[in-house]
């Protein structure tokens, strides 16, 4: 993805980063039914400079990460996955934030999860995720985490951690 992908991830982070306080979304508080959430396909940036081309592997891993996140959140019983459309395709986290919120709202989402993964080096990757309260148009979760390794196991552990963080939103009073 090169520089453009990095700028997209940074831009999304900065746009949502203004409100870093973690506030339980009104939609999740005291709600017995699952919260409708749009989990957008995450973006991936590799600035590690490794010689071996891992584009296909990383595309598959970021796709599995996004799919597993949707599956884990829905399986928790706390969320119902909705899929906003941006034109003829589902929206991705690389879109323009106000447009993404509008599409998520149209799809019936109360929360929208965006973010991405940045591979900094052979061993270190960063995952940035934000959950946005669609009605209030503000972040209710903002997490930046690192994970070591570029294996299926490392990615799966990172995804499970993110899923637990998001699940906690629905459990918040």
- Mean per-residue pLDDT pooled into runs of 10, the chain (173 residues): 48 40 42 89 94 94 97 96 92 90 97 96 93 96 94 95 92 70
CB within 8 Å of 17: residues ≥ 6 apart: 139, 142
* CATH code, 117: 3.40.50.10610
Overall pTM surpassing 0.85 (yes/no): no
- What confidence score (pLDDT) does residue 122 get? 84
Burial of 91 per CB tally in 10 Å (0-12, 13-18, 19+): buried
Query: 18 lies in which domain range?
Result: 2-171
**3-state SS class at 71:** helix
- What confidence score (pLDDT) does residue 4 get? 54
- What confidence score (pLDDT) does residue 170 get? 80
Structural domain tally of the chain?
1
Beta strand ranges found along the chain (DSSP E): 35-39, 43-46, 79-82, 85-86, 89-90, 111-119, 124-133, 138-148
C-alpha to C-alpha distance for 66 and 149, rounded to whole angstroms? 18
- What confidence score (pLDDT) does residue 8 get? 44
C-alpha to C-alpha distance for 123 and 150, rounded to whole angstroms? 7
- What confidence score (pLDDT) does residue 84 get? 96
- What confidence score (pLDDT) does residue 171 get? 78
- What confidence score (pLDDT) does residue 20 get? 33
DSSP character for 102? H
């Amino acid at each position: 993805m090169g520089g453009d992908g990095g700028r997209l991830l940074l831009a999304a982070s900065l746009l949502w980063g203004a409100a870093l306080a973690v506030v339980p979304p009104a939609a999740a508080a005291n709600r017995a039914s699952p919260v409708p959430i749009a989990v957008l396909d995450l973006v991936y940036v590799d600035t590690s400079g490794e010689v071996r081309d891992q584009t296909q592997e990383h595309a598959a891993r970021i796709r599995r990460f996004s799919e597993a996140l949707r599956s884990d959140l829905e399986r928790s019983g706390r969320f119902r996955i909705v899929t906003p459309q941006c034109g003829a395709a589902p929206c991705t986290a690389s879109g323009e934030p106000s447009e993404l919120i509008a599409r998520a709202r149209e799809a019936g989402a109360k929360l929208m999860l965006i973010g991405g993964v940045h591979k900094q080096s052979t061993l270190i990757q960063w995952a940035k995720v934000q959950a946005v309260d669609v009605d209030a148009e503000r972040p209710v979760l903002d997490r930046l985490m690192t994970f070591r390794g570029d294996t299926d196991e490392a990615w799966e552990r990172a995804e499970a951690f993110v899923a637990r963080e998001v699940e906690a939103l629905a459990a918040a009073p």
